[in-house]
Structure 1
Amino acid sequence: MRRSGGWRFGWVWAAYGVSTFGTRFALDAFALIALLVLDAGPAEVSLLAAVGPAVGAVLSVPLGPWVEYRRKRPVMIATDLLRCAVLLSVPLAYAVDALTVAQLLAVSVTVAAADITFQAAVGAYVKDVVPREELLRANGRLESTNWTATMLGPPLGGAAMGVFGPLTTVVADAVSYLLSAGALGAAGGGERRPGRPDPRPRLRAGDLLDGWRYILRSRELRPLFFNTVLVNGLIMASSPLLIVLMVGPLGFAPWQYGLAFALPCLGGLVGARLSRRLVARFGPRRVLRVAGTLRACWPIGLAFVGPGVAGLTLVMVVEFGLITSIGVFNPVFATRRLERTPADRVVRTLSAWSATGKASIAALTALWGLLASLTGPRTAIALAGAVLLATPLLLPRRLDEAHRDKEAEARTQLSGG
Structure 2
Amino acid sequence: MTEERPALNQNTNFHKLWAGQSISLVGINVTYVALPLLAIYAIDAGAFEVGLITLAETVPYLLVTLWAGAWIDGRRRIPVMLFADLSRGAILVAVAVLTLLGMVNLEIIVGLMLFYGVGSVLFEVAYYAVVPSIVRRSDLMRANSRLQTSGSFALLAGTNIGGVLTQVVTAPFALIVDAFTFVASAVSLRWMRVQETIQPATPGESRRRQIWEGLRYVARQPVLRSLTLSSALYNFFTTGVMTLFPVFAVRTLELNAATIGFVQSFGAIGAALGALLATRMIAALGAGSSYIWAKGLAWASVLSLGLIPAHSPVTVAALVVAFSVSGMLIVSNVVGITLRQAVTNDQMLGRMTATYKFISYGAQSLGGFGAGLAGELFGLRAAMVGGGILLITTVLVALVPAVRTVRELPTEVPDEPTPTPAAAATK
**What TM-score results when the alignment is normalised by the length of structure 2?**
0.83
Going from structure 1 to structure 2, the CA distance change for 1:205 and 1:378 (only over 3 Å counts) comes to: same
> Aligned to 1:363, which of 363, 366, 373?
366
- 1:192 partnered with 2:210: no
Q: 1:71, 1:194 within 8 Å by CA — same for their partners in 2?
A: yes
Q: How does 1:224-235 map to 2 (within 5 A)?
A: 224-235=227-238
Structure 1 position 226, deviation (Å): 0.9
| Cα distance between partner residues in 2 of 1:209 and 1:195 | 17
Q: Work out whether 1:51 is the aligned partner of 2:56.
A: yes
Query: Aligned equivalents of 1:374 and 1:100: distance in 2?
Result: 24
Is the alpha carbon distance of 1:87 and 1:301 closer, same or farther for their aligned partners in structure 2, counting shifts above 3 Å?
A: closer
For residue 403 of structure 1, the aligned residue among 385, 403, 421 is 421
- Amino acid in the other structure paired with 2:297: L
Q: CA RMSD in A?
A: 3.0
The Cα shift of 1:267 comes to 0.6
Distance 1:84 1:255, change over 3 A: closer
Match of residue 319 from structure 2: 315
Is the 2:235–2:361 contact (alpha carbons within 8 Å) kept by the matching residues of 1?
no
Deviation of 1:138 after TM superposition, in Å, equals: 0.9
Structure 1 match to 2:333: 330
Residue aligning to 2:154: 149
Q: Which residue of 2 aligns with 1:131?
A: 136
Give a deviation string over 1:192-239, Cα, whole Å, max 9, x none.
3222145x3343334334433222221111111111110122122112
Show structure 1 runs of 5+ residues with no match.
Answer: 410-417
Shift of 1:290: 2.7
Alignment of 1:183 with 2:183, yes or no, is no
Equivalent position amino acid for 1:334 in 2: I
Aligned residue runs from structure 1 range 245-264, under 5 A: 245-264=248-267
Q: What residue in structure 2 maps to residue 412 of structure 1?
A: none
- Note closer, same or farther for the CA distance 1:249–1:311 as it changes in structure 2 (3 Å cut): same
Is 1:165 matched up with 2:194?
no
Report the residue type matching 1:194 in the other structure: I
- Residues 60 and 114 of structure 1 are in contact (CA less than 8 Å); yes or no, is this contact kept in structure 2? no
Q: Which SS does the other structure have where 1:188 is aligned?
A: coil
Structure 2, unaligned runs of 5 or more: 1-5, 407-417
Residues 305 and 314, structure 1, Cα contact 8 Å, conserved in 2: yes
1:405 partner letter:
A
Distance 1:170 1:210, change over 3 A: farther
Q: Structure 1 CA distance, aligned partners of 2:143 and 2:89?
A: 26
1:313 Cα deviation (Å)? Answer: 2.5
2:414 aligns with none
Give the C-alpha shift of residue 57 in structure 1.
4.5
Identify the match of residue 293 of structure 1 among 296, 303, 322: 296
Q: Is the 8 A contact 1:117 1:351 kept in 2?
A: no
Deviates more, 1:150-159 or 1:362-371: 362-371
The residue number in structure 2 matching 1:414 is none
Cα 1:227/1:309, change in 2 over 3 Å: same
Structure 2 residue aligned with 1:114: 119
1:116 offset after TM fit, Å? 1.9
SS of corresponding position for 1:174? helix
Q: Return the offset for 1:55.
A: 3.7
Deviation digits for residues 144-165 of structure 1 (CA, Å, limit 9, x no counterpart): 1112122211221232234433
Cα 1:20/1:78, change in 2 over 3 Å:
same
Matches within 5 A, 1:75-86: 75-86=80-91
- Structure 2 vs 1, CA of residues 344 and 158 (structure 1 numbering), >3 Å: closer, same or farther? same
Distance 1:99 1:369 in 2: 21
Q: Go from structure 1 to structure 2 and tell me whether the alpha carbon gap of 1:50 and 1:258 turns closer, same or farther (over 3 Å shift).
A: same
Q: Return the match for 1:305 from 284, 308, 320.
A: 308
Task: Call closer, same or farther: CA 1:329–1:381 in 2, change over 3 Å.
Answer: same
**In structure 2, do the counterparts of structure 1 residues 401 and 85 end up closer, same or farther at CA, with 3 Å as the change threshold?**
closer
Alignment CA distance shift 1:255-1:341 (3 Å):
same
CA distance in 2, matches of 1:41, 1:378: 17
Question: Retained in 1: the 8 A contact 2:16–2:189?
Answer: yes
Number of residue pairs matched by the alignment: 405
Pair 309,194 (structure 1): closer, same or farther in 2 beyond 3 Å: same
Distance 1:92 1:380 in 2: 34
Partner of 1:415: none
Structure 2 counterpart of 1:20, which letter? L
Question: What is the match of residue 12 of structure 1?
Answer: 17
Structure 1 residue 25: deviation in Å?
Answer: 1.9
Shift of 1:44: 5.5
1:381 aligns with 384
**Range moving further from structure 2, 278-287 or 83-92:** 83-92
